[in-house]
Structure 1
Amino acid sequence: ADFGSVGGGILSSFLIGRGINPIKARLMSMLLFACCIIGVIMAAGSSNLWVAVFAISLAIGAHQAWTANIWSLVMDYTPKHMMSTVFGFGGMCAAIGGMFMTQLVGHILTVTNNNYTVLFTLIPAMYFIALTWMYFMAPRKIPTVTE
């Protein structure tokens, strides 16, 4: 996970250093890391323990890289005076979402007779849904605020 977090920052910084717009660089990085998370689907159907461990480890690292970029993306276009409000609201939404997710996971496992394949297929799909939403919601230009 640590390698993913640091690697996520390195990749987007590298792209920004090559002249790519910061928002585009972070979204491109997030797309790459979402693609890495697809490998977690192999973990559900794997009969080999180490294949499952590798697939889940790759997904965890990619998740950390995703997280590093999404926080940076939000900081790129949030005015400084609203930063704590935005992050507080995001944390609250994450906590509420976590409460609903535990219920949803329990329901899916009950209905599918403890089959994790559905869950391990939904995980990567959520990253692509979130990335699509971020792509359309992220401003194309970062407004400059004079203090």
Structure 2
Amino acid sequence: MQEITLAAVRATPLSVDEVLAAVADPHAGGTAVFIGTVRDHDHGREVARLAYSAHPSVEERLRAVMEKVLSDTSVPGRPVVRMAAVHRVGDLEIGDAAVVVAAAAAHRQEAFDACRRLIDDLKAEVPVWKHQSFEDGRDEWVGTP
């Protein structure tokens, strides 16, 4: 049975263990996880801090993206079994986890493919916006419509 076990956006710190537990399944022979963390630089400038904000429909849109990825990356006899994703909003510090996604599948290739597609589609289609403040006093919004 294919299942989205976790699709959340929250203001509290993210747990990789929670995401891994959400995709655990005896039918899965492979689990792939991606953790996006706040880095200290962007485009050659030092990042001082950043904040994420999201549209009120963010969890609905996240789930829709996950359903599409689940459908598109499963192949007969080698399904993606479970998927999970959480994204952080609010103020984050350098090194904090901003997003954690995972896919569990019968075989490793499907798990890798689904995990990569999930993070790529999440970043492209889910209404989460990043406000970066730089050490030089400038700032920018990333991902806004």
TM-score, normalized by length of structure 2? 0.28
Larger Cα-atom Rg: 1
TM-score, normalized by length of structure 1? 0.28
Higher strand fraction (1 or 2):
2
